[in-house]
Structure 1
Amino acid sequence: MTSADASPPVDWADRANEAARSVTALFGRKLFFLPGTHLGAVKWPAPAWRDGLKGTLLHPWHYWWQAHYADCLVDAGRRELRNGAVLTARFNGAGKPSAGRLASRLVTGVWLRNAFTFVNNYYDDMAWLALAVLRLDGLAAKTCKPGRRRNAGVRRSLTLQFDAACTDDLGGGAFWSKKRDFKNTPATAPIALYYARTGHRAKAQSLLDWLDATLFDPDQGLYLDGARLDPEGNVVIDRAVYTYNQGPVLGAQLELGGDANLARAADVVEGVARLLTVPVQHAPAAPGTAGARRMALRCEGTGDGGLFTGILCRYLALAAVDARLPERTRATAARLVLDTAGALWEGKRLAAPSEGAGSSERPGRYIFSMHAADPADATYPHGAVVELSTQLQAWMAFEAAASITIAG
């Protein structure tokens, strides 16, 4: 191959910014038109009446989608900071709020929409928000922005919830909800990661030990969904395997380190590559892999499942740049992220001016597929209602790809 034939390197930061602009333009709005607030609409386009007070209250409330929206904005804010935190570095232009400012407004919006509290009935929801606010606070500290007292209050409130969720029932782990009848990976793993990142390492390791003993399937190299007691008092394992469950476990293992955790992290990356990928037909193979079949992470559809693969990408990206892992593991993690992000990017489509009120004023916005293996023209054809979760998933994948290339 000559230098003239070589493809230019992909600017994943620019692609992440395109996703950020699309999501904030199509889904972002104030809560009840209140200044200083921001939330993501669940669907786009939405009937105009849903923008009012009645419509907002009647619209389904997805707390944890907003947490991941905040996390994506923090990703964009960190890139803005690396570019000097100047007005021209903002993802949406010099005349718009910074990504960090939007994330802070979103946290305020969550508090208001959630009836003046950050507490809800699901411990996994709260764990995702706590992780996002922790990262947001790190961004605020570096940029000397306000909101750190509020952020500390969020963490204090939610840490109390996590302490209550983690009991000796079923041998350990964290309850999923306040029904307290099911302990699972979706709650235990992000709580473990939160504990690890806030200095409660023994608590975090205890949760990982329970996951390893109770829900890790060595044949697959992956974590199963959860455990509950049946009416006779026997432990029953829900053997479903979801992409996103692997992500925060991987994050906690890397955060805590140690030979056992790092070895298990490598097992998880291998298990994901072996069992949670699907072939891609519409996107070209990555540079240097001519003739190879393009594989992307399996996606889980719409609704909550629309977030799953993006979450896994976020934590695979950490594995891809962690020098403590074997080179093969790092390369596998990077390939999974870059191939998935590449397929989602190649499969995008433009939002047409005829779609949704005000779209003609927001030209050049993209719709991303809910499945990396299929283009958006197939999964979200013109006129289809698009869910926020699936668009955050693509944005997360692009941010993950950007973090790998920046680190490299």
Structure 2
Amino acid sequence: MTMPDAEPAHWQDRANVAARSVTGLFGRRLLFLPGTHLAAVQWPSKHLKNLLHPWHYWWQAHYVDCLVDAGRRELGNGATPAARFNGAHHPSAGRLASRLVTGIRLRNAFTFVNNYYDDMAWLALATHRLQSLAEETRQPGRRRNARVRKTLTLQFDSASTDDLGGGTFWSKKRDFKNTPATAPVALYYARTGQEAKAQRLVDWLNAVLFDQARGLYVDGARLSPAGEVLVENNLYTYNQGPVLGALLELGGDANLARAAALVAAVAQRLTVPGQRILRCDGTGDGGLFTGILCRYLALAAVDARLPESARNTAQELVTATAEAFWAGRRPAGRGAASATAGNVLFSIHAAQPADTTYPPGAAVELSTQLQAWMALEAAAAIHKSRE
């Protein structure tokens, strides 16, 4: 049975419910080591192997980003113990995110370098935001954050080559360049003062991977044995998100016009038929996709440089999707005495209730719960900015 959507009604309260649920159900120390945090990839989780195998680096990177979202709300509410999403006697969201970054490094064989450049780009974006949060709360992040940026920037520089005319390689195999890697790397460059590099990557995306007919960015391109560029035309919701973010971060008339058009194309082609709810892409990695898109649509919704119609469309998409996730939630536990009491589970698909996609007894994937959390944080950010 789904839970009534009238309590709590405030978007920040709803985001806090999601934050408490994900951290409570999935979060734990890595191998019981103090000062660490990591998320199990599945719930229920009674086995140590769930922390050790399989390893989803980029799921954890988005977990960092979600905690930064919660930390920013804590900051907006005074950054006091009483403002913490999980109560005054628990660590702040920022501190928990810092422990998570430590856990990622240890679990990733004592390094932040990974075989996939898109994975590293997501962590670079998240740690950059974490550092900004630390500075604003007057609790400067560890030198580690600077080392993360230095290490990963070198990785991005090595992967962003002139092969295929530009773009960023997806993996260390260096045989495929795609939107999932190029877009977040471009956004990272733009946010770290490397606008020329960012614009070159965006220009390559526009020239090679932008589908004019659909107004959206397709997956990637590789060289054929004959030396021809072969484009893979699959469309994924999340690819549109970091492109939108990079366009907004870079600014300028051309980029902003593309951003407005991209919002319109998302509304036309990536929603549930007849509704403003964004489509979702299942479990596994796909369980993150719609949440990522919501994160960047939220930036468009409050960007005064965009036409009002684009801002309103972005807000409608995020709000309708978050409302659907919230309305379809179900309790994680049964009864007030349950260890999971107060925690909730969200559906795989926003347009379907969690009782349908995750009936009692089903194994629940971390990615899908982070997705709903991201959507709720995006809605909270929009409504906070418009208060």
Class of the TM-score when normalised by the shorter of the 2 chains: over 0.9
How many pairs does the alignment contain? 381
Of 268, 279, 299, the residue aligned with 1:318 is 299
Correspondences of 1:91-102 after superposition (within 5 Å): 91-102=85-96
Q: Is the 8 A contact 2:244 2:259 kept in 1?
A: yes
Give a deviation string over 1:350-383, Cα, whole Å, max 9, x none: 01248xxx99223111000010110000000000
Q: Is the 8 A contact 2:159 2:169 kept in 1?
A: yes
Q: Matched residue of 1:236: which SS?
A: strand
Of 328, 349, 354, the residue aligned with 1:347 is 328
Q: Return the alpha-carbon distance in structure 1 between the equivalents of residues 131 and 376 of structure 2.
A: 22
Q: Return the alpha-carbon distance in structure 1 between the equivalents of residues 267 and 102 of structure 2.
A: 38
Correspondences of 1:279-290 after superposition (within 5 Å): 279=273
Q: Return the alpha-carbon distance in structure 2 between the equivalents of residues 260 and 325 of structure 1.
A: 12
Give a deviation string over 1:155-199, Cα, whole Å, max 9, x none: 000000000000000000000000000000000000000000000
Amino acid at match of 2:104: V
Q: Is the 8 A contact 2:41 2:50 kept in 1?
A: no
Is it true that 1:265 corresponds to 2:259 in the alignment? yes
Change beyond 3 A, Cα 1:74–1:301: same
Q: Is the 8 A contact 2:301 2:314 kept in 1?
A: yes
Match of 1:367 in 2: 345
Amino acid at match of 2:242: P
Q: Return the alpha-carbon distance in structure 1 between the equivalents of residues 142 and 135 of structure 2.
A: 8
Amino acid at match of 2:303: D
Q: Is the 8 A contact 1:247 1:312 kept in 2?
A: yes
Q: Matched residue of 1:361: which SS?
A: coil
Structure 1 gaps of 5+ residues are 1-6, 280-292
Q: Return the alpha-carbon distance in structure 2 between the equivalents of residues 256 and 24 of structure 1.
A: 34
Give a deviation string over 1:74-119, Cα, whole Å, max 9, x none: 0000100111111100000000000000000000000000000000
Amino acid at match of 1:11: H
Q: What is the RMSD computed on CA atoms of the aligned residues?
A: 1.6
Q: Return the alpha-carbon distance in structure 1 between the equivalents of residues 212 and 67 of structure 2.
A: 36
Q: Return the alpha-carbon distance in structure 2 between the equivalents of residues 119 and 215 of structure 1.
A: 26
Q: Return the alpha-carbon distance in structure 2 between the equivalents of residues 134 and 335 of structure 1.
A: 28
Match of 1:298 in 2: 279
Is it true that 1:386 corresponds to 2:364 in the alignment? yes
Q: Matched residue of 1:277: which SS?
A: coil
Q: Return the alpha-carbon distance in structure 2 between the equivalents of residues 145 and 386 of structure 1.
A: 35
Match of 2:40 in 1: 41
Give a deviation string over 1:252-295, Cα, whole Å, max 9, x none: 0000000100011011101100000004xxxxxxxxxxxxx543
Give a deviation string over 1:100-147, Cα, whole Å, max 9, x none: 000000000000000000001000000000000000000111112253
Is it true that 1:396 corresponds to 2:377 in the alignment? no
Q: Return the alpha-carbon distance in structure 1 between the equivalents of residues 236 and 217 of structure 2.
A: 8
Q: Matched residue of 1:240: which SS?
A: strand
Q: Matched residue of 1:179: which SS?
A: coil
Q: Is the 8 A contact 1:141 1:148 kept in 2?
A: no
Q: Is the 8 A contact 1:124 1:187 kept in 2?
A: yes
Is it true that 1:182 corresponds to 2:176 in the alignment? yes
- Stretch moving more, 228-237 or 303-312: 228-237
Match of 1:24 in 2: 23
- Stretch moving more, 144-153 or 390-399: 144-153
Q: Return the alpha-carbon distance in structure 2 between the equivalents of residues 210 and 344 of structure 1.
A: 35
Q: Return the alpha-carbon distance in structure 2 between the equivalents of residues 211 and 11 of structure 1.
A: 38
Change beyond 3 A, Cα 1:9–1:326: farther
Correspondences of 1:219-298 after superposition (within 5 Å): 219-279=213-273, 294-298=275-279
Q: Return the alpha-carbon distance in structure 1 between the equivalents of residues 378 and 119 of structure 2.
A: 21
Q: Return the alpha-carbon distance in structure 1 between the equivalents of residues 272 and 145 of structure 2.
A: 39
| Percent of aligned pairs with the same amino acid | 72
Change beyond 3 A, Cα 1:359–1:130: farther
Match of 2:197 in 1: 203
Give a deviation string over 1:218-277, Cα, whole Å, max 9, x none: 111100000001111111000000000000000000000001000110111011000000
Amino acid at match of 1:360: S
Match of 1:289 in 2: none
| TM-score w.r.t. length of structure 1 | 0.91
Is it true that 1:13 corresponds to 2:12 in the alignment? yes
Of 303, 308, 311, the residue aligned with 2:289 is 308
Q: Is the 8 A contact 2:292 2:371 kept in 1?
A: yes
Change beyond 3 A, Cα 1:108–1:8: closer
Is it true that 1:334 corresponds to 2:312 in the alignment? no
Q: Return the alpha-carbon distance in structure 1 between the equivalents of residues 57 and 67 of structure 2.
A: 16
Amino acid at match of 1:392: L
Give a deviation string over 1:24-82, Cα, whole Å, max 9, x none: 00000000000000001000002x2x22xx6643x200000000000000000010011
Amino acid at match of 2:376: F
Match of 1:283 in 2: none
Q: Matched residue of 2:277: which SS?
A: strand
